[in-house]
């Protein structure tokens, strides 16, 4: 099934355009921090084992985004780790999610990965539902503890 979306590799001029997608996952990341983070991928490209790929609707709007890297996993070998996966399509969220999942599957095959792991932000319950419907299963629970920096004496 073909979806009315195209993909693009994030470039510097796209950073601000996709920022609403970053805000949609409920993070407290501001544009400056997102810009700095994204430029690490853009300004220091690697062999394709990591990157940021966007999804654009037929109307030209940024409708999805994922940040990926290939890594080694004890159980599966090489896996495609998706650290951020988000879509924002006001007309058909499910179609946008499926289109982005097709792109992640293609990237996993391209990198010869044996599995794909997707990190889902707790602010994205509908995304978890879509992934479960596509036979993705919870494999672990991710805990996070913020390390408070003490001011120098």
In this predicted structure, the answer to whether residue 28 has a pLDDT above a threshold of 70 is: yes
User: What is the 3-state composition of the chain as percent helix, strand, coil, each rounded to the nearest 5?
Assistant: 30, 25, 40
**What per-residue confidence (pLDDT) applies to 1?**
43
Choose between 124 and 37: higher pLDDT: 37
H helices of the chain, in order, are 19-24, 31-42, 93-110, 125-133
Instruction: List phi, psi (to 5°) of 51.
Output: 170, -175
Spatial strand order of the sheet with 5-9 comes to: 5-9, 50-57, 62-73, 77-87, 115-118
Residue 139 or 79, more confident: 79
The pLDDT value recorded for residue 17 is 95
Instruction: Give me the helices (H) in 43-145, please.
Output: 93-110, 125-133
Rounded-to-integer distance, Cα 85 and Cα 58, Å: 20
**Residue 64 pLDDT:** 92
Rounded mean pLDDT, 8-29: 90
Q: Per residue in 31-41, pLDDT tens?
A: 999 999 999 98
pLDDT of residue 55: 94
Q: Residue 93: its pLDDT value, please?
A: 81
Domains of the chain: 5-133 (3.40.630.30)
Phi and psi angles of residue 42, each rounded to the nearest 5 degrees, phi first: -80, -45
Q: How do residues 52-106 score in pLDDT, each as one tens digit?
A: 999 998 888 899 999 999 999 999 999 999 989 998 876 778 888 999 999 999 9
User: Tokens in use for 82?
Assistant: 């998706």
């Amino acid at each position: 099934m073909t979806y009315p979306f195209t993909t693009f590799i994030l470039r510097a001029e796209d950073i601000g355009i996709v920022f609403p997608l970053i805000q949609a996952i409920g993070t407290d990341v501001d544009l400056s921090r997102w810009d700095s983070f994204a430029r690490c991928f853009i300004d220091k490209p690697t062999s394709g084992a990591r990157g940021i790929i966007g999804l654009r609707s037929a109307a030209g709007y940024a409708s999805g985004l994922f940040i990926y890297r290939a890594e080694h996993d004890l159980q599966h070998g090489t896996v495609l780790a998706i650290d951020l996966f988000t879509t924002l399509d006001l007309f058909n969220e499910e179609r946008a999610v499926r289109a982005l999942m097709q792109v992640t599957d293609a990237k996993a095959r391209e990198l010869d990965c044996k599995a794909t792991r997707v990190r889902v932000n707790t602010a994205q319950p509908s995304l978890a539902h879509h992934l479960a419907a596509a036979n993705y299963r919870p494999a672990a629970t991710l805990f996070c503890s913020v390390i408070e920096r003490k001011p120098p004496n």
